[in-house]
Structure 1
Amino acid sequence: MPTPPPTGPLVTRDTLAQQLRALGVKPGETLLAHTSLSSLGWVNGGAVAVVQGLLDALGTGGKGGTGGTLVVPTQTGDLSDPAVWQHPPVPEEWWPTIRATMPEYDPLRTPSRGVGVIPETVRNWPGALRSAHPQTSFAAIGPRAAEITEGHAPDCRLGEQSPLARLEKLDARVLMLGTGYATCTAFHLAEYRIPSPRVAVGRPAPGGGWEEVTEVSITSDRFDELGYDFERDRPVVVRGTVGAAETRLFPMAEAVAYAERWLAVHRPREEEI
């Protein structure tokens, strides 16, 4: 069968930057971006062009020295206990060997997983910095990259000693480029500020071997519902279209404050350990 023609619209670095500016992205600001390349249409240059367009809209020019700062999640959920893997699970008799031989996290070499090709492109961008948490790291390009990524505590996935708290203090905004509220990592910061269960989290230890740390339990369960209510109740969410992607832009601090109140009422959770 013949290959079907690509579906549009045709998207370029320049059109992305123009549409992001029209949405309200400002040069010099700090932006936490959740992205979906496939939602945009036919992008000339793929993920590289998207990152270039984002940096252009921020006034960073792709060099990382001036203008705004682009931040993306570069999570590595595969560096976890095989006992909890579901997509797909692995045989139980494999678990000890997997734990014993799993490579340790390396910010320079460990690829991101499950967050898409755009964050992986940011991670490998010249001048990009990446935080040190072995499962929930963030990568950043721009003048505030070091301030945001440094000091990510190994026992604080997405709380007060993570890049999320620094982004909140810097009045960052969240850009959801073709993604839904289920991907909104900012909501997880609220989980650390309300009564939440704590769990044992297994992962490869620095220098080799296996370790367990006690952490706040995090889940994106009901984040879509939370986001819908936030958008309805707080007139701070700017909506528009970039390429073919439905896009949202909003202040992170307001989203976290709303999530604290919402989660405490709608998603009370019991202690897990």
Structure 2
Amino acid sequence: MIAGAGPARPHTRASLAAQLRALGVRPGGIVLVHAGLRPLGFLCGGPETVLLALRDVLGPDGTVVVPTHTPENSDPAGWTNPPVPADWWPVIRAEMPGFDPAVTPSRFMGALAELVRTSPGARRSDHPHVSFAALGPAAERIVAGHALAGMLGEGSPLARLYELDADVLLLGVDHDSNTSLHLAEYRQPAPPRERCGAAVLTGDGGRKWVWWEDIVLDEGDFGRLGADLEAAGAVRLGPVGDGTGRLMRQRAAVDFAVEWLARNRRTEAA
């Protein structure tokens, strides 16, 4: 190890809160957080410290929202990372545990998302593939009634966040992780569609596999979209820990993305 190559300092609840305030997190606001904690450096208390700092800044009237998606609860015919043999597909569809909002862990969403999901008082939407969890006074309003079809569209928590004028906070991640941009895909005319499936619980304590039609989600160009969003001045950037925080009003980001996707994806498809 090179001398002096370690973290500059440990980051605490108080120091992170000061950085989040400087970034512009609004007291009493609602914030959808996507976090990769490793780029933030040494956190004295790990994800718990980040959540405590966020709640300190938001105050008792603020609400924290996180994605608690379960991508493995999906049609195995579409799995690519890794793919599975076709003769496995019926077994997976028959045996995948039904999604339980209170029990099913999220995957690939990070430690902060799991901490929020398991915190006392947290509420979680019941979508078997793209659920969200929220902690704070607006939690139930945000997560209730998450539609199976149109899973990140007008019947989703993303649309409720849009209505409530929420913020989006990216901590140590880029716009590739900005789930709110998918709402703009639903607001395009005639987006491409596909068949989706997942295992859900039934009222009698059993489980079943359900199918629905939804749009084809594509975050492949969200990096370019986000760069243009930042160039337009819609994103505040600042240090959080050793990493970068990106804060934006969700409405502004979605409205920008609606126009950006209409212009750029139409051009690319021509």
Q: TM-score range by the shorter chain?
A: over 0.9
Aligned-residue CA RMSD (Å): 1.7
Return the alpha-carbon distance in structure 2 between the equivalents of residues 239 and 107 of structure 1: 33
Unmatched segments (≥5 aa) in structure 1: 60-65
- SS of equivalent to 1:42: coil
CA contact (8 A) 1:6 1:42 kept: no
Alignment partner of 1:236 is 2:234: yes
Shift, 1:7, TM fit: 3.3
Whether 2:259 is the aligned partner of 1:261: answer: yes
Q: Secondary structure at the match of 2:56?
A: helix
Residue of 48, 59, 69 corresponding to 1:75: 69
Aligned length: 261
Is contact 2:43-2:49 (8 Å) kept? yes
- Residue 17 of structure 2 corresponds to 17
Code of the residue aligned with 1:256 in structure 2: it is V
Paired letter, 2:192: P
Identical residues among aligned pairs (%):
48
Please name the residue that 2:194 is paired with: 199
Residue identity in the other structure for 1:20 = L
**Residues of 2 paired with 1:124 and 1:206: CA distance?**
20
CA deviation digits over 1:198-217, x for unaligned, max 9? 11001114322322101122
Structure-1 separation of matches of 2:175 and 2:212: 28
- Alpha-carbon contact 2:234-2:253 (below 8 Å) kept: no
In 2, Cα distance between the equivalents of 1:5 and 1:111? 35
Q: TM-score, normalised to structure 1's length?
A: 0.91
Find the counterpart in structure 2 of residue 172 from structure 1.
166
* Aligned-partner SS, 1:17: helix
Q: d(CA) in 1 for partners of 2:120 and 2:92?
A: 33
SS at match of 2:201: coil
Question: Aligned with 1:11: secondary structure?
Answer: coil
Q: Which whole-Å deviations, capped at 9, do the CAs of 1:226-247 have from their partners, x for residues lacking one?
A: 01011112x2311100101111
Determine the C-alpha separation between the residues in 2 that align with 1:206 and 1:126. 23
Distance 1:81 1:8, change over 3 A: farther
Where structure 2 has 5 or more consecutive residues not aligned to the other structure, the ranges are: none
For 2:44 and 2:198, the matched residues in 1 are separated by 39
- 1:1-22 superposed Cα distances (whole Å, 9 cap, x missing partner): 9xx9963431111111111011
Q: 2:100–2:200: 8 Å Cα contact kept in structure 1?
A: no
Cα offsets for 1:178-221 (capped at 9, x unmatched): 11000111110011111211110011143223221011221111
- Paired letter, 1:227: G
Deviation of 1:95 (Å)? 1.5
2: distance between equivalents of 1:86 and 1:47? 30
Does the CA-based 8 Å contact 1:130-1:149 persist in structure 2?
A: yes
Q: Tell me: CA distance 1:81–1:44, structure 2 relative to 1, closer, same or farther (3 Å).
A: same
Task: Give the match for residue 214 of structure 1.
Answer: 213
Q: State the SS of the aligned residue for 1:43.
A: coil
SS at match of 2:150: coil
